[in-house]
Amino acid sequence: MVFSSITFLYGFLPLILLAWFVAPKSMRNWVLLLGSLFFYAFGQPSFVLLLLFASVSNWAFALRLSRTRGTKGARQILIAAICVNLLLLGFFKYADFLIGSVNQVLGTAIPLLHIPLPIGISFFIFQSMSYVIDVYREEVVPQRSLAQFTTYVALFPQLIAGPVVRYGDVEQGLRNRSSSMNQLYSGVRRFTMGLAKKVLIANSMDELCSAFRGANEQSVLFVWIYALAFTLQIYFDFSGYSDMAIGIGQMLGFRFPENFRYPYSSRSITEFWRRWHITLGSWFRDYVYIPLGGNRKGKHVWLRNLAIVWLLTGLWHGAAWNFALWGFLYGLLLMVEKLFLGKYLEKSKVLSHIYVLFFTLLGFVIFNADGMGGMTRDLSSLFGLSGLPLWSAETSYYLNSYFLTLVIAIVGVTPLPKLLAQRWEKKPVMTILEPLAVGLLLLMSTAFLVDGSFNPFLYFRF
């Protein structure tokens, strides 16, 4: 089940909200837990057991840690917990990637396992690990109720595509939360904005990307249009999902962390990664980069730590070498910026924005490539090295067809719409116009969902 579906919008979500509001406070976590398990089982029933195993094992590890705190055994339990989580993630997400890589390097013919990827495994494994580590660091008190901890792991708003919510973010809400009508409306408004991002813009950009892949007359300009379309698609797709998750959280009395802050307005790649997928970046910073020593142990160790973090960031996004190269590219750019380029980027707003947008487009071409062969083909086409003409009739057709949507999307990735909304939000007329606008967006999104085809979120595959 996905947020951008009629089943979710007019079936599951209203029912879970109704059940949550009418249930006694002592039963609300049970409503949320059972609803979350049903939500996950709707798409992949066989992997509910995996989700429950991750919950039970990490809950048990954390309790054991609390009993052995201050002893040598605590570190051993922490290592065991991390190993169990990484083995689960490695087996389901990376087993075939590793087997294929070995076959390619050694010329062997080890059969692939063809293991289906559990939806959202990267997210709920990372959240479970962060909880155990935080208990070890004495930053959170271990949860003694298995049901309450499983509610945190399985929490359906952020279960399958983030944001990466740490236990400390929702601990208070799990114990005692309430929701007012104002909070409910704020949640509905945030959810509807995210839904419109996904359905009205991201899906349209996906159509343009698909048209490029299926075009008979590709051109160099069409490759650049495709790169722009995918760069816009992934932003509106993922930030739209995050908005929906945060909005549902508000409806249910939770406060989830923000995940995007206009990343395409950045003036450096360093700033870009402070604004893009913020919760994942902070996870790698707090649980990998800083424990490795951060930048405190000299330049060589610091560069090594950056390389490790960005290799892992790339592979987290997908089990393929083009994802590793994508992570390496950004790690290298961050190193160059911190060593000398950063001071030059500060001198020119225009050039710094061009630099960020160029490498963002380039990076997402690598990200979305069909393996290393597809990446090589796409990059060579991007720079006119594959024999494509500069222009084609098909390029003109699709550029004209999607020009308005591209313009709306480009404006939408900037802070301009928010600034305009802030100027109008205190005017009395907005008490009428804003709910009407929210309702109109919901109706338009519904119409597109009824008329369109199934289009899952990009980050479901991670």
pLDDT tens profile 32-85: 999 999 999 987 888 999 999 999 999 999 999 988 887 888 999 999 999 999
CB 277 within 8 A of CB 221: no
pLDDT number for residue 418: 87
**The pLDDT of residue 425:** 77
Answer whether residue 386 is part of any domain.
yes
- The mean per-residue pLDDT over the stretch 177-187 comes to 83
pLDDT band at 388 (very low <50, low <70, confident <90, very high): confident
Q: How confident is the model at residue 452 (pLDDT cuts 50, 70, 90)?
A: low
Q: In this structure, is residue 161 part of a structural domain? A: no
Model confidence at 199, pLDDT cuts 50, 70, 90, reads: very high
Q: How confident is the model over 296-350, as pLDDT tens digits?
A: 888 889 999 999 999 999 999 988 999 999 999 999 999 999 999 888 888 888 9
Q: Is 261 found in the same domain as 112?
A: no
Can you tell me the distance from the alpha carbon of 35 to that of 20, in angstroms, rounded to the nearest whole number? 10
Domain final position from 154, 169, 203: 154
Task: Specify the number of domains making up the chain.
Answer: 2
5 domain-assigned? no
Active site residue 317: yes
Q: Same domain, yes or no, for 228 and 344?
A: yes
Are 200 and 132 contained in the same domain? no
In a shared domain, residues 128 and 195? no
Mean pLDDT along residues 209-232: 92
pLDDT at residue number 275? 96
- Whole-number pLDDT of residue 462: 56
Is residue 28 one of the residues assigned to a domain? Answer: yes
The answer to whether residue 172 scores a pLDDT higher than 60 is: yes
| 131 and 215 assigned to the same domain | no
Q: Does residue 204 fall inside a structural domain? A: yes
Q: Is residue 171 part of a domain?
A: no
Set 277, 300, 317, 353: catalytic member: 317
Higher pLDDT, 372 or 132: 132
Is 244 found in the same domain as 207?
yes
Chain center to CA of 381: 28
Are 147 and 234 part of one and the same domain? no
Per-residue pLDDT reduced to its tens digit, 404-430: 999 999 999 999 988 888 888 777 877
Answer yes or no: do 57 and 197 share one domain.
no
The model carries a pTM of: 0.93
| Same structural domain, 292 and 405 | yes
Evaluate whether residue 3 is within a structural domain: no
Residues 90 and 227 in one domain: no
* 33 and 125 assigned to the same domain: yes
For residue 81, the enclosing domain spans 13-154
Let me know whether 103 and 56 are in one domain. yes
- Whether 333 maps to a domain, the answer reads yes
Band of residue 458 on the pLDDT scale cut at 50, 70, 90 = low
Asked if residue 235 has pLDDT above 90, the reply is yes
